[in-house]
Amino acid sequence: MRSDTRVQLNDVSYSYEEQATPALSDVSAVIEPGEFVAVLGHNGSGKSTMAKLLNALYIPTEGNVLVCGYNTRDEKLVWEIRQRAGMIFQNPDNQIVATVVKEDVAFGLENLGVPTEEMLPRIESALSAVRMSKYADKAPHLLSGGQKQRVAIAGILAMEPSVIIADEATAMLDPSGRKEVLETIRTLNRQKGITVVWITHFMEEAALADRVLVVTDGKIRLSGTPAEVFDRVEEMREMHLDVPHMTALAGELRAEGMPLKPGILTVDEFVEEVERLCPLKSAT
Amino acid sequence: MLNNITMGQYYPVDSKVHRLDPRIKLILTIVFIVIVFMAKTFLGYAVILGFVWLTARLANVPFRMLLRGLKPLRIIIILTFLLNLFFTTGETVWVQFWVIRITKEGFLQAAFYSLRLIFLVIGTSLLTLTTSPVSLSDGIEILLSPLKVIHFPAHELAMMMTIALRFIPTLLEETDKIMKAQMARGADFESGNLLSRAKAMVPLLVPLFVSAFRRAGDLAMAMESRCYHGGEGRTRLRVLKLTRNDWIACGAMAALLALIILEGIFL
């Protein structure tokens, strides 16, 4: 196994040529192996730029990005980096290259020069990991959005990456497709130990991560577990970001003097906490 | 595999001819074209017709599908026939009045040349009817790859074809969507004369082009992020392998070629 599978950003800044203000400025972060990190931010916050820096699609204007110990500045290492840090994009249609599902999964392997006889088993295991095996011979345009994204994930998975970066991979999907893709990624994270960088603007998705980085105006403003981050309701509001409804409600009740514990994200947690504070006298 | 898309002429059934290696089919089609030009007599054409008919039978392609390929060329074929019929000089006059003069030689030559056109179209139709666009582009890529030495972009060409095939259904869907959106806002695509109908296409084409360019940008980025760096050092999932049937097909074509050569010598 590779010794260093961390992803590091060291004082990274990035400016687009045509813009005066940098999209990212002085960002530093370390993403540990096997971690599920959500990067949360609204449109234009720089979160998408961050994703593209991790895959050597963009090279930082200042600072360094290290993926599994490889610096993205080194042009010779570009393919090594992209094989280790696979990326899923927002639009499910615009990242499928081939006219048949299994050939699309093969695309990355073909590019890496993997021998043909090795390809089929890798494609099969990648497709079964995203539960798309029975669609192997279908044409991609007949699949739903969620299924297309799962094919895209399989295409990355076949390349055996250490890190998967999802750049708003669920933004164009319907709720059921969103759930399906998120569950697939979570399973891969837990079972195969693949590091996930999940870029999103959905609070509910960020709430499922091990750690949340909140990005606004090109800077990481908050970092911590979802509970820690969402409990700072006021700060989140200042950044025009919502928090999950239950966290917001708990915050308001706390302001009114109700001693609710911090870190409530879901309805269930809220109910449990309220029941702990004021136990119901059993009606039956 | 692409059964669910109707693309080009491809006739999606399974047959020995469909399963032939696309490279062999491409080469044999070229040989067939040469053979058609070599045939000098109607007897030779009879042999060729028999060959085409047999291939169509083996390919499970109904003969009317082959004839359908002639439709767009019918004017050229008819014109070839008429021009040869009226303007060939000959001895045996069949019909003569005013400036029109039809001779036996003229008629035979007219029939011969139009049959030649028909055979050319049918022969190439057999290729496109029995080969899916994807394997066709595979075959073209491999056959053209020796030209890479002179910097001919064989791989890039095939990749472009594949991507075009991949995005045709997506763009069709999108066209439909935009059309409905514009119609909901009162756009009229159906009435008016040619000019006003062409003008009505502008609000359809502009968003379609904008989105196609956006898609192209996205796709390029997605391909790069999956380590695409051109054809060099690339392996392939689909490897073309010659089978016994490919050699049989070559043999059959060689036999046809021999017959036509013999016909040229002895008749």
- Same-domain pairing of A114 and A68: yes
pLDDT band at B48 (very low <50, low <70, confident <90, very high): very high
Domain count, chain A: 2
Q: Which residues of B touch A86 (CB under 8 A)?
A: 225-226
pLDDT of B5 reads 43
| In-domain check, residue A109 | yes
Q: Residue B16 is which amino acid?
A: K
Chain B (198-237) residues lying within 8 Å, Cβ to Cβ, of chain A: 214-215, 218-219, 221-229, 233-237
B242 vs A: CB within 8 A: no
**Is residue B53 within 8 Å of B74, Cβ to Cβ?**
no
Pair A69, A79 in one domain: yes
End-to-end Cα separation, chain A, in angstroms: 58
**Given an 8 Å threshold on Cβ–Cβ distance, is A95 in contact with B222?**
yes
- Give me the count of residues in chain A: 284
Q: Please give the structure tokens belonging to residue B8.
A: 């080009």
Residues of chain B in contact with residue A141, where contact means CB-CB under 8 angstroms, are 5, 166, 169-170, 173
pLDDT category at B95 given cuts 50, 70, 90 is: confident
* Contact across the interface for A97 and B1, Cβ inside 8 Å: no
* Terminal Cα distance for chain B, rounded: 47
Whether residue A83 is found in the same domain as residue A162: yes
Are A157 and A254 part of one and the same domain?
no
Residue B65 has a pLDDT of: 82
Helices (H), chain A: 47-54, 78-84, 101-112, 116-129, 145-157, 175-192, 203-206, 226-230, 233-238, 245-255, 267-277
Residue B2 is predicted with a pLDDT of 37
User: β-strands A219-224, A211-216: how paired?
Assistant: antiparallel
**What is the band of B8 on the pLDDT scale with cuts at 50, 70, 90?**
low
Q: What is each CA distance from A162 to A83, A122, A159, B61, in whole angstroms?
A: 9, 16, 10, 50
In a domain, A2, yes or no: no
Tokens 């669920």 identify what position? Answer: A170
Report residue A100: phi and psi, to 5°.
Answer: -135, 140
Using CA coordinates, name the residue in chain B closest to A56.
Answer: B225
Q: Kindly report the CATH number assigned to the domain that includes residue A50.
A: 3.40.50.300
Helices B22-38 + B244-266 axis angle, to 10: 10
Residues of B in contact with A67 (CB under 8 A): none
Residue A59, phi-psi category: left (phi > 0), alpha (psi -120 to 50), beta (remainder): beta
Contact of B166 with chain A, judged by CB distance below 8 Å, is answered with yes
With CA atoms as reference, report the closest residue to A21 among A58, A48, A61, A57: A61
* pLDDT tens digits along B221-237: 999 999 998 878 888 88
Measured between CA atoms, the residue of chain A closest to residue B5 is A139
- Distance between CA atoms of residues A222 and A243, nearest Å: 13
Amino acid residing at B33: I
- Name the residue among B166, B228, B239 with its Cβ closest to that of A99: B166
For residue B155, what are its two tokens? 């791989």
Which residues of A have a CB under 8 Å from any CB of B?
55, 57, 79, 82-83, 86-87, 89, 91, 93-100, 102-103, 106-116, 119-120, 123, 137-142, 155-156, 159
Task: Determine the pLDDT at residue B92.
Answer: 79
A199 and A226 co-located in one domain: yes
> Do A94 and A150 share a structural domain?
yes
Q: For residues B55 and A149, what is the distance between their CA atoms, to the nearest angstrom?
A: 43
Phi, psi of B61 (to 5 degrees): -100, 120
**Domain spans, chain B:** 22-131+241-266, 154-225
The residue segments making up the domain with residue A170 are 7-243
Q: Please tell me whether residues A262 and A148 are part of one structural domain.
A: no
Q: Which amino acid is at B139?
A: G
Contact A116 B236 (CB under 8 A): yes
Angle between helices B104-130 and B22-38 in degrees, nearest 10: 180
ipTM: 0.85
**Measured between alpha carbons, how far is A127 from A81 in angstroms, rounded to an integer?**
23
Residue closest to A260 by CA, chosen among A244, A237, A242, A278: A278
Torsion of CA A252, A253, A258, A260, to 10 degrees: -80
- For residue A1, is it within any domain? no
- pLDDT means over runs of 10, chain A (284 residues): 75 87 89 92 87 91 91 90 93 91 92 92 94 91 92 94 93 91 92 93 88 91 88 83 83 86 83 83 55
CB atoms within 10 A of CB B243: 13
Residues A157 and A176 in one domain: yes
pLDDT of residue A3: 58
Q: Is residue A39 part of a domain?
A: yes
Whether B166 sits inside 8 A of A116 (CB atoms) is: no
Asked whether residue A105 falls in the same domain as residue A194, the answer is yes
> Taking a C-beta distance cutoff of 8 angstroms, is the pair A144, A178 a contact?
no
CB crowding B128-163: b at 16 or more within 10 Å, else e: bbbbbbbbbbbbbbbeeeeeeeeeeebbeebbebbb
Lowest-pLDDT choice from A27-36, A242-251, B6-15, B136-145: B6-15
Encoding tokens for residue A267? 């309805």
pLDDT at B87: 83
* Residue B239 buriedness (CB in 10 A; 0-12 / 13-18 / 19+): exposed
The pLDDT of residue B6 is above 60: no
User: Taking 50 as the threshold, does the pLDDT of residue B90 lie above it?
Assistant: yes
- Which of the residues B134, B160, B226 would you substitute to probe the A interface, choosing the one with the greatest number of A C-beta atoms within 10 Å? B226
Residues 6+ apart with CB under 8 A from B5: A139, A141, B168, B169
Beta-carbon separation of A111 and B229 below 8 A: yes
Distance CA B114, CA A152 (A): 51
Same domain, A154 and A255: no
Q: What is the DSSP string of B41-57?
A: SHHHHHHHHHHHHHHHH
A239 and A250 together in one domain: no
DSSP string of A23-39?
Answer: SEEEEEEEE-TT-EEEE
For the entire predicted model, the pTM comes to 0.81
Q: What is the CA radius of gyration of chain B?
A: 24
- Which of A100, A90, A14, A10 has its CA nearest to residue A50? A14
Q: Which of A94, A75, A14 is nearest to B174 (CA)?
A: A94
Q: What are the tens digits of pLDDT across the range B175-213?
A: 989 989 988 988 887 777 888 888 888 888 999 999 999
State the pLDDT at residue B7: 52
In the predicted structure, residue B82 carries a pLDDT above the cut 70:
yes
Say how far apart CA B245 and CA B162 lie, in whole Å: 26
Strand order in the sheet with A195-200: A85-88, A163-167, A195-200, A36-40, A211-216, A219-224
Residue A24 maps to a domain: yes
Q: How many CB pairs under 8 A join A and B?
A: 101
Q: Are residues A206 and A239 in the same domain?
A: yes
Residue B194 structure tokens: 């040619």
Q: Looking at the partner chain, which of B215, B225, B235 has a beta carbon nearest the beta carbon of A57? A: B225
Instruction: Give me the pLDDT at residue A282, please.
Output: 57
More confident residue, B261 or B92: B261
Render pLDDT for A165-196 as a digit per residue (tens, 0 to 9): 999 999 999 999 999 999 999 999 999 999 99
Nearest residue in B to A52, CA atom: B225
